[in-house]
Amino acid sequence: MGEKQKIVIIGGVAAGPKAAARARRRNPDAEIIMLERGEMTSYAGCGMPFFVSGMIQDYNQLFNTAYGVKRDAQYFGREKGVKLYTRTEAKAIDRDKKEVKAVNLETGEEMVFPYDQLVLATGASPVELPIEGKELKGVYKLNHPTDALKIKEALDTGEIERAVVIGAGLIGLEGADALFNKMVDVTIVELQEQVLPGMLDPDMAEKLQQHMREEDVDLCLGDKVLRIEGDENGNVKGVVTEKRGFIECQMVIMSVGVRPNVELAREAGLEIGKTGAIVVNDSMQTTDPYIYACGDCVENTHLVSGEKVYTPMATYANRQGRVVGDNLTGGNSTFKGVLGTGVAELFEMNVARTGLGEVQAKKLGYNVITALHSAFDRTHYHPAHGLMFIKVIADRDSKRILGAQAIGKAEVAKRIDVIATAITFGAKVDDLINIDLGYAPPFSAPIDPVVHTANFISNKAAGLATGISAKEFKEKVERGEDMVLLDVRTPEQFAPKHFKDDRVMQVTLGDLRERINEIPRDKEIITICAMGSRAYEAARILQGAGFKDVKILEGGYNAWPYELEFEKK
Amino acid sequence: MGEKQKIVIIGGVAAGPKAAARARRRNPDAEIIMLERGEMTSYAGCGMPFFVSGMIQDYNQLFNTAYGVKRDAQYFGREKGVKLYTRTEAKAIDRDKKEVKAVNLETGEEMVFPYDQLVLATGASPVELPIEGKELKGVYKLNHPTDALKIKEALDTGEIERAVVIGAGLIGLEGADALFNKMVDVTIVELQEQVLPGMLDPDMAEKLQQHMREEDVDLCLGDKVLRIEGDENGNVKGVVTEKRGFIECQMVIMSVGVRPNVELAREAGLEIGKTGAIVVNDSMQTTDPYIYACGDCVENTHLVSGEKVYTPMATYANRQGRVVGDNLTGGNSTFKGVLGTGVAELFEMNVARTGLGEVQAKKLGYNVITALHSAFDRTHYHPAHGLMFIKVIADRDSKRILGAQAIGKAEVAKRIDVIATAITFGAKVDDLINIDLGYAPPFSAPIDPVVHTANFISNKAAGLATGISAKEFKEKVERGEDMVLLDVRTPEQFAPKHFKDDRVMQVTLGDLRERINEIPRDKEIITICAMGSRAYEAARILQGAGFKDVKILEGGYNAWPYELEFEKK
């Protein structure tokens, strides 16, 4: 024995290098070997859209440390004490002999790496749509820096006027945004009826869609790509979808998700979960205690639902890599699970979510209560204030916070991170109301949007307020139901923008007490304002005066994602 | 007895109006009366510095709702159903009769307001320094909108070239920043040895001071104002301090803190705490169960230390007002306490803190462990990234997080809010490491600065890392101790900026393994880099090679708040 501990790590992008570096810092003597089948290691995949858009100008920035050193084999050897083999693909794991068989993809040389502990950080690969034309010139993915480089080069020819992005997930939208910033007309085709189906509830997505349409992004939702068509030179000339038909374009980006790379694990007899990713315990061990796995190839436990989920994210890869590095070297660290917290900047809107969405929570059987609120991210009198829409999802029975989503040209990431933190500790609605968040006009309001939205849930749960969502409201109005749409904004606010419908009645909040007898008591009343607060105030006045059926349009006009005119049914 | 519930509220700025509005929403029938001795109600005190700086141009914005309605007696009457008496001062409370005696300050008319429940929201008043010259023309406070208006008018004459701000607390610095933005030369005189003594530890304050000095803000710390001098016309012409002597100026802003207004409560026999503010329970009741108190006139419980503290903040006033509104109307809400979370934008630096500071925690007897880290708020390759210094304070025994402070031209408010949330739930260091925070390049790094700093504490606690603060380091170097200052940055980073001292040795991190024998084993080694991460890496390499006494300069050069040259002792 007396021999050095041998650690072999398969995969050199995010989780692998992290595990390697952490193990090295904890054990100066171990032999640490990292195998990467690609040429590039430790690259910033999340930076690719910013390189395509031109915001990041130097391609090398995707590979360098903050202090300008390229993370290549020399870097890993000299700074991290890790022996890196690039272009070296692991082909099989012999768990009895505890060795990995690999091949050098350049020379064809076969190699065997014995290990005491093995780490699988094999990542994920883009899903390939089985459609005609995907091999045409001008059809790209956006999963690897070389993809970004090729897209950038094509854009720089100046010949790309229109592009089609297939898939409206995060990467698809980030890619579309990058093209949009390069003045390319973009059509996004998505099989589901909304953008970001894995991230946002339909109502929040609707708001983003409204904004994207206003920015002239062409959305084909609930549509299916049938094939990609090319010209005589093999260049893409368009995409054909089921509903829209032919969409002319000179570029296609396919981003319909990723799948975990689990072949090696499966062939070695390690357990693969229902999600299709490698099963690990909270020490990040696979079903073989000598083999760890981390990053985009493993499944995670959702901290709210307890369910297994596949959530490949850079931040999990890094944090899991550290846990593995600890446990490889005698530590006892755990990675308990995920909330699926995500944030993105898309078409100058910030979008974020954590925990369960409303739809997701209902599917899981929760007795869901939600509140959606329009709010400024700072005091309204601070000139930099921006508008957000924030929705909090809770369990009506236990009052536990299940999730939250926010969107706006405003600081939403903080609010979602705060709620993610609260959920981690099992926070209830009242806990959220009581958190001592920092306030100053450039950063927040005396009552932060998080607290305000929690207050709204609390009011709803206590029977002080009844809300109606934009979608329900629209459907009711379009069904022709007899009701009063009571707009309580000022006449100055009402004049330029209001619902175009006969049932609208304008009574400024300040006049409501004295004009209350003008409002029919036998009808359903929907109170409406700009943000939602005055509508609540009005509803309380009406309810206090004995009105029985009063609902607040949640989020008010600012959160309204549709046309102001209704379709008559 | 069939009569309407009578609620009387004394104070109409923040907590009072909130309590009134909330009570009204919950009880449509109560008679709600609000007495305010000033002319103005419900104004945005926190907006005053932004009005002075010109960022907010319209004075009315400090008084209006987001939808442009002035919050005056008409507003309270018509929108909130609250009867407001302005210029009406409560003079005495008769607790037996349950009535308030008040006087109209305009007419001298005496009034009596019977109550079922009374709310004291009497606020705070600026501390008056007992110094000569404080009545001179050109000497201002910054506690009321009229103060801001007077300062603004004086600035607009164009005759103010130099100003002295007395007191380097939050309001003093916000005022100084506003003057600075108006191109006025500013000297700040502060009795204590640092700026923001109530908010920041000395090391964090030092960093802000360095920045302010670079911006040509003149700081007189640890100095005492003796008198203010005027000219023959009664206009201020300068301030005389103990150390600096005469400082010429045409304007003085005195901001040496506030004191709670408790006379009415004291005379009514209600308990006043050691902090000098009104004692309340967590239902916000005073020692008379029919009398509630909230806002700047009450003391709070610190949620970490359990001690009573006086922390007048707009956000507490609002949140407490809501709790009072609930409890006035049959509710059962509580306000458990505060973390003293605060945030400010000062001289284009963002400053935030929550919980206990290091100094404060040590005084309270905690076995303190801290970590200070330099970090970017986004990925380094995102062009908008900014640098922050973040310090987390924990209890070495229980590993509980006690507090955190951050400063930088970067997004720090989010990090402090996240930590505030975590502390609320009794988070330990490992909990902070495991929070699922949102990541995308425009918002964060794969390992958020919060997580990174928690990792650093964890490494320190596990004996993997030993840190040294800038101050300790400087003192050691200046004492002439024999040691090696091992700068592990690249030569390109070293050349333009490094410590000027014979004990400095430059060995790039990547060369350290092969050059390790050049480093003396018998000396104390301090490893140094730009941010702190490579210094940690280097320390691990040295320790792995058997070096016994290795320390990391926490936060690296970026966090260094002093000159690069050392005084020789």
- Dig out the tokens for A155 from the structure: 């854009």
Across B2-116, the runs of DSSP E, i.e. the strands, are 6-10, 31-35, 83-85, 88-94, 99-104, 110-114
Architecture of domain B6-123+259-328: 3-Layer(bba) Sandwich (3.50)
CATH code for the structural domain at A467-559 = 3.40.250.10
pLDDT value of position B567: 85
Strands B6-10 and B117-120: parallel
B513 and A CB contact within 8 Å: yes
* A417 vs B414, B424, B441: nearest CB: B414
Chain A nearest CA to B550, separation (Å) = 14
Chain B nearest CA to A94, separation (Å) = 32
ipTM: 0.97
- Dig out the tokens for A348 from the structure: 């100058």
Instruction: Round to whole Å and give the CA distance between A387 and A377.
Output: 6
Tens digits of residue pLDDT in A460-469 = 999 999 999 9
The answer on pLDDT for A568 being more than 80 is no
Half-sphere exposure of A439 (CA within 13 A, CB side): 26
A66 and B CB contact within 8 Å: yes
Burial of A216 (0-12, 13-18, 19+ CB in 10 A): exposed
Instruction: Please say if B297 is a catalytic residue.
Output: no
pLDDT value of position B1: 45
Is the distance from CB of B100 to CB of B112 less than 8 angstroms? yes
B541 and A CB contact within 8 Å: yes
Burial of A394 (0-12, 13-18, 19+ CB in 10 A): buried
B313 and A CB contact within 8 Å: yes
Fold for the domain defined by A139-256: FAD/NAD(P)-binding domain (3.50.50)
The answer on pLDDT for A195 being more than 90 is yes
Predicted confidence band of residue A229 (pLDDT cuts 50, 70, 90): very high
Interface with B, mutate which of A80, A436, A509, A527 (most B CBs under 10 A): A436
Chain B nearest CA to A386, separation (Å) = 12
Q: Between A and B, how many residue pairs show a Cβ–Cβ distance under 8 A? A: 289
- Render the burial of B1-32: b for 16+ CB within 10 Å, e for the rest: eeeebbbbbbbbbbbbbbbbbbbbbbbeebbb
Q: Tell if the CB–CB gap between A421 and B416 is shorter than 8 Å.
A: no
Q: What is the mean pLDDT of residues A168-187?
A: 96
Q: What residue in A sits closest to B334 (Cα-Cα)?
A: A434
Q: Tell if the CB–CB gap between B314 and A451 is shorter than 8 Å.
A: no
Domain ranges of chain A: 6-123+259-328, 139-256, 342-461, 467-559
With H, G, I as helix, E, B as strand and everything else as coil, classify residue B58: coil
Residues 19 to 48 of A: which have CB under 8 A from any B CB? 21, 24-29, 44, 46-47
Chain B nearest CA to A5, separation (Å) = 15
A530 and B CB contact within 8 Å: yes
* B79 vs A68, A79, A537: nearest CB: A537
Please report where in the chains the tokens 């935030």 appear, as a residue: B352
Predicted confidence band of residue A42 (pLDDT cuts 50, 70, 90): confident
The answer on pLDDT for B216 being more than 70 is yes
Is it true that B6-123+259-328 and B467-559 share their CATH fold? Answer: no
Instruction: Round to whole Å and give the CA distance between B298 and B16.
Output: 13
Chain B nearest CA to A289, separation (Å) = 23
Instruction: Round to whole Å and give the CA distance between A117 and A293.
Output: 11
Fold for the domain defined by B342-461: FAD/NAD(P)-binding domain (3.50.50)
Q: Tell if the CB–CB gap between A418 and B413 is shorter than 8 Å.
A: no
pLDDT value of position A2: 58
pLDDT value of position A45: 87
The answer on pLDDT for B264 being more than 70 is yes
Is the distance from CB of A355 to CB of A420 less than 8 angstroms? yes
Q: Tell if the CB–CB gap between B540 and A441 is shorter than 8 Å.
A: no
The answer on pLDDT for B467 being more than 50 is yes
* B46 vs A315, A441, A530: nearest CB: A441
Interface with A, mutate which of B417, B434, B541 (most A CBs under 10 A): B417
Q: Which residues in chain B have their CB less than 8 angstroms from residue A61's CB?
A: 381
Tens digits of residue pLDDT in B273-305 = 999 999 999 999 999 999 999 999 999 999 999
Q: What is the mean pLDDT of residues A242-264?
A: 97
User: Which residues lie closer than 8 Å to A65 by C-beta, 6 or more apart?
Assistant: A71, A75, B380
B418 and A CB contact within 8 Å: yes
pLDDT value of position A497: 96
B540 and A CB contact within 8 Å: yes
Strands A245-248 and A124-126: unpaired
* B25 vs A425, A427, A540: nearest CB: A540
What's the mean per-residue pLDDT of chain B? 96
* A436 vs B322, B420, B425: nearest CB: B420
CA-to-CA dists, residue A309 to A288, A303, A405, angstroms: 21, 10, 19
Say what percent of chain A tops pLDDT 90.
Answer: 95
Q: Tell if the CB–CB gap between A418 and B421 is shorter than 8 Å.
A: yes
Instruction: Round to whole Å and give the CA distance between A137 and A395.
Output: 50
The answer on pLDDT for A1 being more than 70 is no
Q: Which of A1-5, A106-110, A323-327, B57-61 has the lowest mean pLDDT?
A: A1-5
Say what percent of chain A tops pLDDT 70.
Answer: 99
Q: What is the mean pLDDT of residues A259-266?
A: 98
Tens digits of residue pLDDT in A98-130 = 999 999 999 999 999 999 999 999 999 999 999
Number of Cβ atoms within 10 Å of the Cβ of B501: 13
Say what percent of chain B tops pLDDT 70.
Answer: 99
> Model pTM?
0.97
Which one-letter amino acid corresponds to residue B489?
A: R
CA-to-CA dists, residue B347 to B175, B205, B215, B380, angstroms: 11, 13, 8, 23
Tens digits of residue pLDDT in A288-314 = 999 999 999 999 999 999 999 999 999
Across A156-298, the runs of DSSP E, i.e. the strands, are 162-166, 185-190, 218-221, 225-230, 236-241, 245-248, 251-254, 258-260, 291-293
Q: What is the mean pLDDT of residues A431-437?
A: 96
